[in-house]
Amino acid sequence: MSTARVIRLDAPRQEAWNSLIERYGQQFIAIEAREDATSWEKAQLVKAFDEETKTHPAMLDKKPHDISKQANTDLRQWLGQQRKPGIRPRFMADARKVYTLWGDLDILAGKDILSYESYRHMANCGLPREQKDDLRDWAERHQPARNELRQTIRERVDATKGIYRPDFDLKVSNHWVFQVDKRTDGFDGGVNYDLYANLIHHFSDPGDTILDPFAGGGLLASTLTRYKHFRKVTQAEHSGPRQALMSDISPTSPAILHADARECLPFPPQSAHLAILDPPYWSMSNGKYAGLGDTLDAWLEGLQAVLYNTAQCLTDQGIIAIMTDDFVRKETHVPAGLEVLRLLQQKGWELVTTIYNFNRNFIGMTPQEMARVKHSRLLVNAMKLIQVARKPQRPVDVLPRVNSRDSQKRGLTSEAESDAY
């Protein structure tokens, strides 16, 4: 008797359940087809669907998770039979999170609240429940833009996990690839803000002074003001203001002092903790940058003088970062980066690391230029080398001189040799 009674009672319940699934399935199809349907309307429909399924007589003896699972399965099956799109499962899952956390959201009351997407981001973040409530209170008071809200969420999630990150593309290996390879302010420079920011982050501390004897367009100062990481102390490790010392043979702003780094630098001794050098790269093909030398030997000789003057301005534990670019052509390959490394070692600098910056300079080539390169079987150099070294520990005035073999090779006179660094 008990078995027959169960069958008679369950049959009408199952029909009513199917009717509920069909009714909401039609509503989901209709609202998805509306071009003016808002996310809030869709979320409310999901909320109403959950409330009815959880209180349906056929589900009274089931757990909430099992009810939701069966309702989702039956709804997807019904929509599949109709072959019409309904609200995406991902949207339904997100809407459930929003209303599970904050069932008090009164969408129709017209009060000044955030967008649905804002609540969705807050509900899905990895913060504990009480911190999500605090985040919601903060967001409703400040009405942040979407990017500001996302940044705040990321900072708070990182803080709970002990993760602190700066507001630039920080690299943790010695292979640096940036989304934007060059500057975006119109200056024709070969490096971008993130490259300088990484050098400053890894090789200086808050309060340090950074020296740039090839300042050009003032990239150092722009980097220090561009990122919050260097403007003020934040939760990110090693964040805080630095000072900039900039000079150049052709200054472009009053903040850049006029000076030829081969002759002298207009800064006090031991006034900088880090020096970033982006010298004009030696080029055999067209003799450009003749002021620094139109042959490799002359270029290295000029760079040697720059190293001496830069060392005078660095503290005892000061670090130098020199950017170079190997010369690569059809039948010629000059490893300028290796030559710079040899020069540093010869002068007693302690190598800290070598950084390889992949530069997408060949991406900007036109099809015609690419065809000529292929026809000539040339290799496009897409790697910038950055040699990072620490200042020699012994006094600069007793550093090794250029030996006679090097002098003969570069055509130095005995008088020039005696003055060489």
The 10 Å Cβ neighbour count of residue 206 is: 13
Please say if the pLDDT value at position 46 is more than 50: yes
User: Mean pLDDT over residues 50-75, rounded?
Assistant: 89
Q: Are strands 327-328 and 333-334 parallel, antiparallel or unpaired?
A: antiparallel
89-98, 136-145, 372-381, 390-399: least confident range: 390-399
Statement: residue 272 has pLDDT above 90: yes
Closest residue by Cα to residue 189 from 161, 213, 166, 219:
219
**For position 325, what pLDDT does the model report?**
84
pLDDT digits (tens, 9 = 90+) for 283-312: 543 444 456 766 788 888 889 999 999 999
Q: In angstroms, rounded to a whole number, what is the distance separating the alpha carbons of residues 362 and 95?
A: 46
What pLDDT sits at residue 410?
Answer: 36
- Cα 41 to Cα 416: distance, rounded to the nearest angstrom: 82
Q: Which residue has the higher pLDDT, 95 or 365?
A: 95
Contact status, residue 154 vs residue 235, Cβ threshold 8 Å: no
pLDDT digits (tens, 9 = 90+) for 184-193: 555 555 678 9
Question: Pick the residue with more confidence: 143 or 9?
Answer: 143
pLDDT exceeds 60 at position 35: yes
pLDDT of residue 413: 32
Supply the pLDDT for residue 284: 44
Mean pLDDT of 81-105: 88
Q: Is the pLDDT of residue 389 over 90?
A: yes
Is residue 397 scored above 60 in pLDDT? no
Contact 278, 190 (CB under 8 A): yes
**In this model, does residue 396 exceed pLDDT 90?**
no
Mean pLDDT value across residues 85-110? 81
Backbone angles phi, psi at 373, to 5 degrees: -65, -45
- pLDDT bin (cut points 50, 70, 90) of residue 216 is confident
User: According to the model, what pLDDT value does residue 299 have?
Assistant: 86
Residue 170: CB atoms within 10 Å: 14
Tell me what the pLDDT averaged over the chain comes to: 82
Lowest-confidence segment of 203-207, 286-290, 320-324 by average pLDDT: 286-290
Higher pLDDT, 69 or 283: 69
3-state secondary structure the chain: CHHHHHHHHHHHHHHHHHHHHHHHHHHHHHHHHCCCCCHHHHHHHHHHHHHHHHCCHHHCCCCHHHHHHHHHHHHHHHHHHHCCCCCCHHHHHHHHHHHHHCCCCCHHHCCCCCCHHHHHHHHHCCCCHHHHHHHHHHHHHHCCCHHHHHHHHHHHHHHHHCCCCCCCCCCCCCEEECCCCCCCCCCCCCCCHHHHHHHHHHHCCCCCEEEECCCCCCHHHHHHHHCHHHHCCCCCCCCCCCEEEEEECCCCCCCCEECCCCCCCCCCCCCEEEEEECCCCCCCCCCCCHHHCCCHHHHHHHHHHHHHHHHHHEEEEEEEEEEEECEECCCCEECHHHHHHHHHHHCCCEEEEEEEEECCHHHHCCHHHHHHHHHHCCCCCCEEEEEEEECCCCCHHHCCCCCHHHHHHHCCCHHHHHHCC
Alpha-carbon distances, residue 241 vs 221, 238, 410 (angstroms) = 11, 10, 43
> In terms of C-beta density within 10 A (0-12 exposed, 13-18 middle, 19 or more buried), how is residue 95 classed?
buried
Model pLDDT for residues 252-271, shown as the tens digit of each residue: 889 999 999 998 999 999 99
Paired with 314 in beta bridges are 272
pLDDT at position 310, please?
96
Residue 230: exposed, middle, or buried by beta-carbon count in 10 A (0-12, 13-18, 19+)?
buried
Highest mean pLDDT, choosing among 142-146, 317-321, 357-361: 317-321
